[in-house]
Structures are given as C-alpha cells and as structure tokens.
Chain A
Amino acid sequence: MESAATAGRLNGVGSILARQGILIAFVLFMVGFAAFSDRFLSPENVTAVVRQAAIIGVMAIGVTVVVISGNLDLSVGSMLSFATVLVVDLHDQIGPGPAILVMFLATLVLGAANGFLVGVLRLNSLIVTLGMLSAIQGLTLIYTGGQNVDIADQESTWFAIFGRGHILGVATPILMFLGLAALMHVVLSSTPYGRRVYAVGGNPTAAVFSGIRRSRVVFSTYLISAFATGCAALILGSRVMGSQNNVGQGYELLVLAGVILGGTSLLGGSGNVLKTVVGVLILGFIQNGLLLLGFAYYVQWLVTWVVIILAVWLDIAAKRGRLLSPIA
C-alpha cells in the first residue's frame, strides 16, 4: 500500500521481492543447504540449532521490547556474564534455588538502574548502557577476583534441567525460548501494556499527551530485558556448569543483529517478537548450514554481515519505494 502511494522505481514484483526479501533469502538458504547436506533438515539437527540459538534468542526477546520502545540495551552481554557467574558461584554455596533467586534479584536491580537512568532521568540509552556494559564487566571481575567459577557436583543437581534437561520431551532451552517468545508476543500484541510500549517508541510526545507514563514504560522494558538475560544465564550456566567471567562479551551486538534481522526498527515504534525469533533462527541456521557444508567457522560472520545489511536495506527500500537512497 505504502509503496503504491509513493510509486518510485519499485513496483509490483520488485516491491514484493523487497518486502519479503529476507524470508525469500531464508527459504533459498534452507533449500540450498538441504540440497547439499542430508543432515541439515533432520530433526536432530534442527533441534540442535534451535537449542543453540536459545541463549541469544531469549536475550533478543527482551532487547526487542527495549528497542520497540525506542531505546537500546548494550549492557545485556556483560549482564549475561554477571548473572551466569553469580548463579554458578552461589549454586555450591547456598543451593540452586536460592542462587537462582539471588541471581534474578541482582539482574533486575541492574535492569532497574538502566531503566532509571534512561526512563526517569531521560539520558541517552546508547551511552547509558555502554557505561553499564563497562561497569557490570568490572563488577563481575570484582566478584570473581578474575577467577573462573564452576559447579562441583554436576551429576546430581537439579540445576541441570535448564541447560541439559527436557520437559515433556522438549529440551528446556527450546521450551524457555519459544515459551518466552509466545508470552511476550501475547503481552505486546494484545494487552494495554503492549500498546503503550509501541506508542512510547512510535511517538513519545503523542504517547505522553494521551496519558501514558513514558518513564514507567521505559523503566519496565529494561526490567523485561534484564529478566530475559537472567533466563539466558540459567540456560548457559546450567549447560556449561561453570563460567568464565567474560562469557557474554560481544553478545550484545549478536543479540542486536538478531533483533535487526527480525525487522525491528532501531527508531522504535515497530517490531515483533516472533520475527525476532525468525531473525535469531536465520543466524543460527546460516551458521549451522555453512559448517555442515564444510566452510571455515568464520565464514558465517562474513555471511552475517551481508545478510544484516541486505535485510535492512530491502526493508527500507520497500518502505520508500526506491532501491537507492535519495541522499545526494
């Protein structure tokens, strides 16, 4: 509709191609991989990919909510390190239950700090969460004294359920990933709260005039992001049964790549948790497919580069109805 109104160089087939480009590319990738590798579409392989993507995926769900409300969260990577180290270290000292509780509390406090600075004090989210990235990294190192942590009794602890276990025959990480996605999707698409998140990101001034408390909404999105990161830490800590203190380094940008690939605009106001799931899975399947085809591990990073830019470019091109930017 939009592109018909601003009929530029893209119309008909071109527009459809541009709009659904990422899905088409995804299908082509899948067919291509499947044609060259028998194992690619086997249930075991697909399960393995989704399972591996779960950690990035769970975090990406939280970050999507932050981005829809018009902000960024770069602190999730070091928050993941912090939460994983905390839950693993406390596991042997106070038992798994209390350890999980303390971990979530501590993570939510950090999220609240982000939320207070960005939501209430109205500071730029990129810089605030960049500062928090560094600060939380420091906190983690202070806590561990630079040592790695691990769980002594890895065989009999029920903590193993999060990363290694199954519930109702489904691997727990997958269940947490898809469950959280479904929950957040319902919250965003069919509750007043969800509408407020979109409103605050789309047009903050209009949102405030219609009686939405912007600072509260922004504050809550950072709590959601922190909670999601806590869930990711459960999966990671339980799978590895130990943790290095920089385990989440660089995750913030991989997470953001998944969110962007899902078509969420960094300007805020638009986006969809289920599409984020697709974005994260695309990255996962590309990684897995390239490895199965025998490419060197790091080739996937090159492909990620191309895919991210193409995806966003086609999305923008479809919206403005022209392939190339009108910038002189």
Chain B
Amino acid sequence: MRAALPAPLRWLTSNPIWGFVALVFVFFSVTTDHFFDVGNVSNILLQTSTIGLIALGMTLVMINGNIDLSVGATVALAASLAVDIQGWPVFADWGNWALAPAVISGLLAGVAVGALNGLIVWKTGVDAFIVTLGAMIGVRGIVFIYTGEQSFYAMNFAYSDFGASSVGPLPTLAALFLVAAVLVHILLSRTVHGRNTYAVGGNREAAVNAGIRVGPHMLVNFMIVGFFAALAGVALSTQMGASTPNLGREYELWTITAVVLGGTKLAGGSGTIVGTVGGVLAIGILRNGMNLMQVPAFYVLVILGLILIAVLFLDKQLNRRGAEELRT
C-alpha cells in the first residue's frame, strides 16, 4: 500500500512536521488579517533565524547521539565579545574594519567552547549531556565575569544597520539562515563527513569497525554547533545593537525542541536538516501567528510544550518500531 502513495505524500510521511507547518500556515492566513503578507513572512524568518542557526549545528550533534546544552551560554559569550571588542581603543581608528576582529573573536570563542566540549567527550568518555551541562554553567559564569554583569552597546551604527538590513525582500539575517541551512544540508547529505555523522550515531561499534575515528568526528560536530551558536549570538546582537549577559537563556531548550519536532531522534542515527528547518518554522509560525491573534505570550508556552509532547506521542504511534517491546 505504501508504495502506491504519490511522491509528495510519501515525502510528507517522512517529514510530518512540514504537514504541520502547512496546516498552521493556512490556519493563520485565514484567521488573521496580516499573517499572509510578504512583510510578515520575512519577519517570521528573521525571528526564527537565531534559534534556526543553532538548530542546524544541534542537528549534527544530535544525529551523532550527543547533545549540547551549552549553546545558550555560547550565544551570550559571542555576542558580548563581538559588541565589546569593536569598541576597544586599539581599533579606534579602524572605522568599520573594527567590526572584523570583533566578530571573528566572537565566532572563534564559540568554536573554542565547542572544541573543548568535544575534546572532553572524546577523551574522558563522559556523557555529552553532563559535559555540556557543566559548560553551560561555566561559560555563563565566564560571560558574567567578563562583562562585569553589564550590558554592552554597539557604538558603531554599521553593526546594528547590518542587523536591520535586507537582501531584496529578505532580511539579511533570514538569508544568512537559509544559506547556512542549504550548506549544512549539503554537508549532511552529500559528503563523507555527513555519512559518518549518521554512522556514528546509528551504530558506534560498526562505525569504529568501518575505520571512522569517532572521537575526532564528534569533536568536529561540537565545533560546528559552537560556531553556529556564536553566529546566532552575533546575529542577535546586530539585531539589538547590544548584548546582555543573560542573552540566550533557555535557547538550548528551544533549539532541542525545534530539532526534535523536526524528527531527529535523541538516540542518534536519524534526522535531517529539512526536518529541522520545518521544526524551527513550526515554532516561529506558531509564535508569530498567535501573537497576531493577540493570544498572550503565556499561552504560547503552554501550547508549544503540549505540541512537543504530542509530536513525540504521534511519532511513537506512527513508527511502531518498538512494537515488539515488552508491554507492562
């Protein structure tokens, strides 16, 4: 019976989140006045770009069977560095070029946090959940110490202008997210590294036997998620023209929510970027649409939580791979 399904429907059964995205999109287009509007749609993309960028890297790490709880703290670290360093007296006569060392340091800090996480997971064999839980607390501590609990403001207006700029109809940051999504999609589906990502998450023993160096492989993926968390932090600070030490709090939770909605399994071995982008959009559209319907933000939290649990339940019902499991 399954084989008889037309191609688009078959695609939809493997990416049910896009069915949900289409559903809520149509729902809000019909029920609210300003939802179906080029301005609003690009607004949704802009609002989701931060979580979206992190989710791209998180997908790789989660397909590996790992997790990264430190991304929210990395967002704050990168944003604080990028906004602070551009104002350093050393760069006073660099003009707009002062943004380059600032942004680069922010991104490098993210890569460094990822590398440290990856190295610890590789060398000690401690579960990634615990390693990155530690890093989440520690990196947030570094942010508070570095900033002296202060917010920083970008004195160079070119910085916040970038956050508000557009490429054609698309906000630059939304375009950045979409380009990054395409790149990570290619990395995951067309390269050896991508194939290894699934192999390591699916069956680590087999991956080792196939000659994949699991440790360094996981290290690279942690560096990638660190990079994307830092990029998200920089992007967020260009939007705000500022950084606060509490930036990115609970982003790890939202990101994991988006990735799981997109069909990536916590156990590792499966997941796609197409699904993750669907998960990110689902959250973005719900938040935006309910906002337009003037549903208080509080209800959105409840509804998102319930949807996450419902998706998990449906997924279990649809893919009864565990049907032979003991019932008690």
- By a beta-carbon cutoff of 8 Å, the part of chain A in contact with chain B is 117, 121-124, 126-128, 130-139, 141-142, 146, 204-205, 208-209, 213-215, 249-250, 253-254, 256-257, 260, 266, 296-302, 304-306, 308-309, 312-313, 316-317, 320, 324-328
Contacts and interface: CB of A to CB of B under 8 A. Distances in A.
Given A130-B256, A253-B69, A301-B137, A138 B301 contact: yes
Given A208-B328, A317-B124, 17 more contacts: A124-B266, A127-B308, A130-B305, A131-B304, A135-B305, A136-B305, A214-B328, A215-B328, A249-B249, A266-B127, A266-B130, A299-B145, A302-B138, A302-B145, A308-B133, A313-B125, A327-B215
Contacts of A122: 316, 322, 325
Tell me which of A132, A215, A308 has the highest count of chain B C-beta atoms within 10 A of its own C-beta: A308
Contacts, number: 165
A308 B141 contact: no
Interface in B270-328: 296-309, 312-313, 316, 322, 325-326, 328
A277 B214 CA distance: 36
A131 B305 contact: yes
A127 B144 contact: no
B60 interface: no
Contacts of B135: 305
Given A256-B133, A257-B133, A208 B326 contact: yes
B235 interface: no
Nearest to A121: B313
B144 A123 contact: no
Contacts of B120: 309
A249 B124 CA distance: 30
Contact of A301 (B130, B141, B266, B297): B141
27 contacts: A121-B313, A127-B312, A130-B305, A131-B309, A132-B309, A134-B257, A134-B301, A135-B301, A135-B305, A135-B306, A141-B297, A209-B326, A213-B328, A249-B249, A253-B136, A253-B137, A254-B137, A260-B130, A266-B127, A298-B140, A302-B141, A302-B142, A304-B134, A305-B137, A305-B138, A312-B124, A326-B125
Contacts of A204: 326
A138 B219 CA distance: 36
Nearest to B120: A309
A128 B309 contact: yes
B190 interface: no
A149 B266 CA distance: 38
B199 to A, nearest CB: 13
Contacts of B126: 309, 312-313, 316
A184 to B, nearest CB: 23
B131 interface: yes
A121 to B, nearest CB: 6
B2 interface: no
A320 to B, nearest CB: 8
Nearest to A307: B134
A131 B315 CA distance: 15
A128 B312 contact: yes
Nearest to A324: B123
Contact of B141 (A142, A300, A326): A300
A53 to B, nearest CB: 16
B141 A313 contact: no
Interface of A is mostly: helix
A325 B124 contact: yes
A117 B309 contact: yes
A134 B131 CA distance: 23
Given A131-B308, A138-B299, A327 B125 contact: yes
A255 to B, nearest CB: 11
Contacts of A266: 127, 129-130
B276 to A, nearest CB: 15
A161 to B, nearest CB: 32
Nearest to B297: A141
From A121, A122, A305, name the one whose CB has the most chain B CB atoms within 10 angstroms: A305
B122 A325 contact: yes
Contacts of A134: 253, 257, 301-302, 304-305, 308
Nearest to A134: B305
Given A304-B134, A309-B131, A130 B328 contact: no
B22 interface: no
A21 to B, nearest CB: 13
Given A127-B309, A128-B312, A141 B134 contact: no
B10 interface: no
Contacts of B304: 131, 134-135
A256 B133 CA distance: 9
A295 B180 CA distance: 41
B208 interface: yes
Contacts of A137: 301, 305
A328 B200 CA distance: 12
Interface in B138-197: 138-142, 144-145
Query: Which of A137, A139, A260, A309 counts the most chain B CB atoms within 10 A?
Result: A309
B250 to A, nearest CB: 8
Given A130-B253, A305-B134, A309-B120, A325 B305 contact: no
A179 to B, nearest CB: 28
A141 B257 contact: no
B266 A127 contact: yes
Contact of A124 (B301, B302, B312, B325): B312
A297 B125 CA distance: 31
Nearest to B261: A127
Contacts of A249: 249-250
A298 B316 contact: no
Interface string B103-121: 0000000000000000010
Nearest to B304: A134
